[in-house]
Structure 1
Amino acid sequence: MAAIGAASSAVSGDPDVCIQRYRGLRASGLAPLSRSIRSVPPSPAKFSGVTAVSTPVKTDSAETKRSKVEIFKEQSNFLRYPLKEELETEAGNINEAATQLIKFHGSYQQTNRDERGVKSYQFMLRTKNPCGKVTNKLYLTMDDLADEFGSGTLRLTTRQTFQLHGILKKNLKTVLSTIIRSMGSTLGACGDLNRNVLAPAAPFTRKDYLFAQETADNIATLLTPQSGAYYDLWVDGEKFMSAEPPEVVTARNDNSHGTNFPDSPEPIYGTQFLPRKFKIAVTVPTDNSVDILTNDIGVVLVSDADGEPQGFNIYVGGGMGRTHRVETTFPCLAKPLGYVPKEDILYAVKAIVVVQREHGRRDERRYSRMKYLVNEWGIEKFRSVTEEYYGKKFEPFKELPEWEFESYLGWHEQGDGAMFCGLHVDNGRIGGKMKKTLREIIEKYNLSVRITPNQNLILCDIRQTWRRPITTALAQAGLLLPRYVDPLNITAMACPALPLCPLAITEAERGIPDILKRVRAVFDKVGLKFKESVVIRVTGCPNGCARPYMAELGLVGDGPNSYQIWLGGTPNQTKLARTFMNKVKVHDLEKVLEPLFYNWKRKRLQGESFGDFTNRIGFEKLQSIVEKWEGPTESPSGFNLRVFSDRQTYEAMNELAQLQNKTVHQLATEVIHNFVSTQQNGKGA
């Protein structure tokens, strides 16, 4: 520890003194990191944040302050110690340091919060699937592992990956080695490094989609940890990595602008990796299936008039996480940084990552995402510092068309004679008959699959002659064509929350089915048509894993059975929602939603979405409407049955409908239909 302390003092204060002290320590063998002296370029303004050298400090402070996780990383021998030792013990859990390190390997330690008494530890595993691509072999492997070692279900995440829940510590190595030997990976699915790289999941054979997906693959490969700890721990040092594209190897090894740690097992990450998780998405113009503006880096392909890829627009600084009642934490949309030619994209992405590595805060993790650095510096300074590592000026941002949300549900032509079928999966949870049927289809027809950023599944490379039998089998398992799915469900998302997430304050995945039924009942009551919808996202805490701050209606857990309500996002995910109300109990949602939806129905402009309506009317006026609401003053118009003469009758019918797992409209329609039928048959009173 004395050596670490000496290293600490060596990297504080004036940069020139810092370099001299570093050289002296390096000669004595005490230098914390072997790295290029030219690793931190001159910045246009003084920076007071924490840098990524071995013991990060603020330049204006003699005292080192950094989070506990930074020390765990530094002392881990590149993510090995003490995780390896902890995995070998008989205990069902691992210690605090190992719990942080195993995240980099793709796992979180959890307990079932529904159980009382002695904690029963288990682990969640998350895979790494750039673009959401999953081979036939890997899907079947994950399906088997869920049954043999997990909870019996697979979960599709909002970042195009699988999650397996319920893995016991004693089975971790078996499960992970099986995934690796099936050419899958969990490396970097969690932890303070680049996470899974998103891209549109649709398997189109168009040049733009193929090039965007290839770029996402290359970025993921560029930023994959290199030390070998992952393979040392889980497959005893065997390497299962496929050959890397030469342009990726060249970009990773290039140190012409001081980006790398020379001679380090981790040339980009060093011993400290990044200050916090880092998210990247790649897409093509108009396709916002990836929520492009919520990522640390958003990459948009730009093609010429003939469809040939030319380069990329780059956004920086998006992120969803925040903390309740801490106004200095906030969700944020990414900002335009500039344009680069297609051959430079890996170098530009690497430069941005290095800026965050060097200047992102490491003393307080709640402020460690890159969005806070961009917000503190401003985009001009961030661009200037990034250009030092990139070695060039960014070109002006190219004009883009309007974004659209794409779900890719239903049947589509791939462009090569085959078809793909997008399947809606409520909350991404695959289990029971659905799981069994999907396995049978994927195995029988030897299909590969794609996971979408909206927690859905795409079956790929389907021959035209297979369409009818596959459609029939899917329908029998409850996997319906989009026209048979409630539009509210199609765009809704929820995080897992309780019972396994330690951060969850209230329900999300388990609560959203009932919430959506109640929203549909309110739609029925105020006269909104079945085809109409709003984007609803629910999370059990403010971290925003289901991206609720981009929703038209976001519910964010802020207490037991209580939600903070956010309004103002848009269907194409280009506007940030804002806080509308705090501490709304789940049983009181109708008191808020009914006046909002009634006024949207009555006062919206032609084609105006719910999110745009709430922004136009203004939150102050809407809050007044909610507070004074006593129910609609007239029956709604349109093709919607209004069968209740008073609120009391409606509420009684609504209570009965909930007991039968139906909407009040569905139950009322059934009652009327049955009554009319009996009258027509002469059986009525």
Structure 2
Amino acid sequence: MTNGGSSRITLTFLTYSLGSSGFFHSLGYRNSRTKRGWIHKRVSKQDSPKTLVPVVASTTETPKKLSKVEKYKKDSSHLKFPLQQDLEDDNIYVSEESVQLIKFHGSYQQDNREQRKKGEQKKYQFMLRLKLPSGDMPTSLYRVLDNISTEFGNDTLRATTRSSFQIHGVLKKDLKTVFQSIIEAGGSTLGGCGDVNRNIVTTPAPFLTPDYIEVRRLAYVLAEILAPQTSSYAEIWLDGEKAGEIEFWKRNMDMKQVSQLRSFDNGRGIVTGDPVEPIYGETYLPRKFKIGITVPGDNSIDIYIHDVGIVVVSEGNEIIGYNITVGGGLGRTHNKEQTFPRLADHLGFVRREKIYELIKAIVAVQRDYGNRESRMLSRMKYLVHNMGIDAFRELVESYFGERIEPWRPLVLWKHEDYLGWFEQGNGKLFLGVPILNGRIKNDASMRLKTALRVLVDTFPEVRLNVTPEQNLLVKEIEPSTKEQITNILKEHGVPLVEDISVIFRDSMACPAFPLCPLAVTESERVMPNIVKRIETLFHHCGLSKVPLIIRMTGCPNGCARPYTAELGLVGQGPNSYQVWIGGCPNQTRLAFVYKDKVNESELEATLEPLFAYYRLEKRRGERFGNFCYRMGKDALAEYAQNFNSETVRYFKSRVSLRQETYEHLKEVAKFRRLPIAKVAEEIFSTFLSSQDSESNGTTK
């Protein structure tokens, strides 16, 4: 590839003996291809079990009843019909079939339930979601989105948890104009939604070290290898004409080589034979497919919640390969125990030159073995869960044609948000701007939408990056303009990271009411007040300045990732939430259900016992989520049952010192470059520990 200084990619036909220990060979199966895809067919003892060989065979297995969405996809002629006709009629909506098909094109049909009275026709409108690999975009595209949102939308933009932008409130009659405007500006919405690879999320930090450069390069290439190849996108939105502007992330890519990588067939069932969609086939994937890419230690993307997670592995400054995780996903359904959030497993390590074929193999496994009968159970996480990671790995290897190497050890993960000012590494700066719940708008207290427009108009050379926490990075900033950019934001009432509390900094909510059809209660619109109330309670319990990750959703599908938060509020009914606790700050552990159907008005009564217990029993430096996990649900519930807020007194310690002792303490603190309180705590703790040892008879 030409972008990012990557090494030359060699296209090699893969052959590899998998040995007799393979999961499917242990059962006497070999790879076979049928009209439904590749299967593992029973073979006789005369066949060698040492090599998985693709053979053509028929199958007599009983056909399963596919979901109706599968039929819509199959009958659509690669996502075209009846959507093309529906867009030409005078209705303000599209048909049931087209509702599913238009998702692949990057749009959802929605109903503003607050704009209609009972019995009235639904107030249909459309949301568009962009494809922005790694969340990066030029200011020229942002200006177009800003204009569209004002002229055709609801005058807001929504940053998403997958590093993209959504435009809400577009009417059907304006759809073609809006799509064309985005495409002609070098953007795209194809694959923003639907049963394909979605927007690839990466660490948003634009550092210029080899590993961070590789993250972005890989995201761009994989986004194109896995992009839908149907011509219906151009036929419907551009009337079959070629876009006047190529997508901005392709401009430094060798698209001929990308096409070769996509269509390369190793003879093991990865490529479908479909002339339009070589990887997906005519029915695409069973469900959405999500990829996240980062570097060791940087868990700004919640690495374990994706279908596939990719971690760049280096030796010195050389990229040698990637660690791969599989089977993550957070969506679930209330009262359906067969659905659940799941963190990914470690699949293993792959050499750099093999990454594309391995990712294609994983996608092919989900394509051929994922559940197409029940969309509720169709994510790849259920396939990995049901098979087990070892059997899943064997199956991927049968497509890949090679053994997957063991996982390489990594440094510990750390949650990063990149808010504030940073040096990029090329003499320029980037600024992380906190965006409350991702909503870019103007209101009485803050004119964020205007501020960002002034900023990109004044400094068109900068670039923007949406982060996985719904915030925005402004990149490629000349140091000489730092003060001017800061002033633009301040003049419009836009807070920077130093202006917000640690709890607001780590809060996230999904849009929910009034547009999301899955929402059962509020989320984004009530989140600021909810966070303020929780913050007040936290401070009341003596926990001021202690961080707390809070995430809120209006339904159980988990778009704002509440199941990995320290405190998650999951919509369960009108003004009612399921409370999840126990996630860890570095996003590597799931939370657990603490209480069901908690009314919004009962949050303080529900949470105060937990905060009080945490204040009294936490270990030094222990976060709330880790405390809840350590104590366990039963102990927390028992404490809460016996809790009486009137008998609890929260206090701050006060210790008086002689003046000369205090001055000495100040000198030590200055020498060690630590706060006085920190040094004092260390001294007291050391002394008290020695006293404990003496009283226990352990001192020599």
Shorter-chain TM-score bucket reads 0.7 to 0.9
Q: What is the letter of the counterpart of residue 553 of structure 1?
A: L
- Hey, what's the Cα distance between the residues in 1 that align with 2:295 and 2:41? 34
Is residue 512–residue 553 contact of structure 2 (8 Å, CA) maintained in 1? Answer: yes
For 2:648 and 2:195, the matched residues in 1 are separated by 55
CA contact (8 A) 2:134 2:203 kept: yes
Task: Find the residue that maps to 2:324 and give its secondary structure.
Answer: strand
**Could you give the per-residue CA deviations for residues 17-53 of structure 1, whole angstroms, max 9, x where no partner exists?**
997xx6xxxxxxxxx78x8xxx445699xxxxxxxxx
Aligned AA (2:175)? L
Q: TM-score, normalised by structure 1?
A: 0.85
1:269-292 deviations in whole A, cap 9, x for unaligned? 111100000000010000101111
Is 1:86 the equivalent of 2:86? yes
Is this contact kept in 2: 1:598–1:632, CA < 8 A?
Answer: no
Q: Is the 8 A contact 1:537 1:555 kept in 2?
A: yes
How many Å apart are 1:217 and its aligned residue? Answer: 1.1
Contact 2:196-2:285 within 8 A present in 1 as well: yes
- Report the residue type matching 1:565 in the other structure: V
> Is 1:201 the counterpart of 2:201 in the alignment?
no
- Output the CA distance in 1 between the equivalents of 2:134 and 2:653: 42
- Aligned residue among 492, 503, 524 for 1:477: 492
Given that 1:40 and 1:258 are in contact with CA atoms closer than 8 Å, whether structure 2 keeps it comes out as: no
8 Å CA contact 1:42–1:385 kept in 2: the answer is no
Q: Please state if 1:497 is matched with 2:482.
A: no
The change in CA–CA distance for 1:17 and 1:268 in structure 2 (over 3 A counts) is: closer
- Structure 2 letter corresponding to 1:444: T
Following superposition, the deviation at residue 63 of structure 1 comes to 4.6
Bigger mean CA offset, 472-481 vs 152-161: 472-481
Q: Give the Cα separation in 2 of the matches to 1:286 and 1:380.
A: 25
**Which range moves more in the overlay, 613-622 or 356-365?**
613-622
Residue in structure 1 matched with residue 607 of structure 2 by the alignment: 593
The 1:638/1:441 distance shift into structure 2, 3 A limit, reads same
TM-score (norm 2): 0.83
Partner amino acid for 2:154?
S
1:49 maps to what in 2?
Answer: none
CA contact under 8 A between 2:296 and 2:410: conserved in structure 1? yes
Structure 2 letter corresponding to 1:158: T
Amino acid at match of 1:635: R
Matching residue of 1:219? 222
SS at match of 1:340: strand
The answer (yes or no) to whether the contact 2:112–2:123 under 8 Å persists in 1 is yes
The 5 Å alignment of 1:51-450 reads: 62-115=62-115, 116=117, 117-240=120-243, 241=246, 242=250, 244-256=254-266, 257-304=268-315, 306-432=316-442, 433-446=447-460, 447-450=462-465
- After superposition, the C-alpha distances for 1:602-644 in whole angstroms (9 at most, x for unaligned) are 110111110110011111111122223220534322289xxxx
Which residue identity lines up with residue 82 of structure 1 in the other structure? P
Report if aligned partners of 1:320, 1:330 keep a CA contact under 8 Å in 2.
yes
Q: Confirm or deny: 8 A CA contact 1:315 1:337 kept in the other structure.
A: yes
In the alignment, what sits opposite 1:487? 502
Q: CA deviation at 1:477?
A: 2.2
SS at match of 2:202: coil
Q: Higher mean Cα deviation, 148-157 or 485-494?
A: 485-494
Distance 1:579 1:467, change over 3 A: same
AA aligned to 1:111 is: D
Check whether the contact 2:583–2:625 (CA below 8 A) recurs between aligned residues.
Answer: yes
Partner AA of 2:485 in structure 1: I
In structure 2, which of residues 642, 665, 674 is the aligned counterpart of residue 628 of structure 1? Answer: 642
In 2, the alpha carbon distance for the partners of 1:43 and 1:147 equals 60
- Which residue number in structure 2 is paired with residue 545 of structure 1? 559
Query: 1:258 corresponds to which letter in structure 2?
Result: G
1:490 shift after superposition: 0.9
Contact 1:41/1:389 (8 A) holds in 2: no
Aligned-partner residue type, residue 584 of structure 1: V
Amino acid at match of 1:550: T
102 and 82 in structure 1: CA distance in 2 versus 1, 3 angstrom threshold: same
DSSP 3-state at the match of 2:390: helix
SS for the counterpart of 1:436 is: helix
2-structure distance, mates of 1:311, 1:17: 27
SS in 1 for 2:391: helix
The structure 1 residue matched to 2:593, chosen from 571, 579, 595, is 579
Matching residue's letter, 1:66: L
Counterparts of 1:567 and 1:245 in 2: how far apart (Å)?
Answer: 46
- The Cα shift of 1:524 comes to 2.0
Paired with 1:43 and 1:614, the residues of 2 have a C-alpha distance of 49
2:476 to 461, 464, 478: 461
**CA distance 1:394–1:18, shift in 2 (3 Å):** closer
Contact 2:30 2:40 in 1 (8 A): no
Contact 1:41 1:388 in 2 (8 A): no
Taking structure 1 as reference, are residues 569 and 360 closer, same or farther at Cα in structure 2, changes over 3 Å only? Answer: same
Amino acid at match of 1:315: T
Paired residue type of 1:564: Q
SS at match of 1:350: helix
User: What is the alpha-carbon distance in structure 1 between the residues aligned to residue 194 and residue 334 of structure 2?
Assistant: 23
Residue 27 (structure 1) aligns with: none
Structure 1 match to 2:651: 637
| Cα deviation code 1:638-673 (max 9, x no counterpart) | 289xxxxxxxxxxxxxxxxxxxxxxxxxxxxxxxxx
SS at match of 1:214: helix
Percent identity for Structure 1 against Structure 2: 46
Q: Which amino acid counterpart does residue 261 of structure 1 have in structure 2?
A: T
* Alpha-carbon distance, 1:473 to partner: 1.5
Moved more, 475-484 or 252-261: 475-484
User: In 1, distance between residues paired with 2:181 and 2:596?
Assistant: 45
Long gaps (5+) in structure 2? 1-27, 44-57, 655-700
| Alignment deviations for residues 379-414 of structure 1 (CA, whole Å, 9 cap, x no partner) | 111000101111111011000111011111011101
**Aligned CA distance change for structure 1 residues 322 and 200 (closer, same or farther; 3 Å):** same
Question: How many residues are matched?
Answer: 597
Shift of 1:341: 0.6
Query: Is the Cα contact below 8 Å between 2:31 and 2:398 reproduced in 1?
Result: no
Report the AA paired with residue 584 of structure 2: T
Given residue 496 of structure 1, which amino acid in structure 2 is its aligned partner?
Answer: P
Q: CA–CA distance in 1 between the matches of 2:30 and 2:643?
A: 66
8 Å Cα contact 1:507/1:540 also seen in 2: yes
Distance in 1 of aligned mates of 2:146 and 2:653: 44
- CA shift, 1:592, in A, is 1.0
Establish whether residue 533 from structure 1 lines up as the match of residue 533 from structure 2. Answer: no
CA distance, structure 1, for counterparts of residue 225 and residue 653 of structure 2: 55
Structure 2 residue matching 1:392: 3-state secondary structure: coil
Shift of 1:245: 4.0
CA deviation map 1:546-586 (0-9, x unaligned): 11100000000011100000011011100001111000000
- Indicate conservation of the 8 Å contact 2:270/2:361, yes or no: yes
Where does structure 1 lack aligned partners over 5 or more consecutive residues? 1-13, 23-31, 45-57, 641-685
Q: Which amino acid aligns with 1:94?
A: V
The residue number in structure 2 matching 1:520 is 535
Q: CA deviation at 1:520?
A: 1.0
**2:577 is matched with which residue: 563, 583, 590?**
563
Instruction: Please tell me the root mean square deviation across aligned C-alpha atoms, in Å.
Output: 2.0
SS at the partner of 2:90? coil
- Residues 64-88 of structure 1, C-alpha deviations (whole Å, 9 max, x = no match): 3010000000000000000000000
Distance 1:162 1:612 in 2: 33
Task: Provide the rounded CA distance (Å) in 1 between the counterparts of 2:623 and 2:225.
Answer: 40
| Distance in 2 of aligned mates of 1:520 and 1:266 | 51
Distance 1:164 1:540 in 2: 19
CA distance in 2, matches of 1:198, 1:18: 34
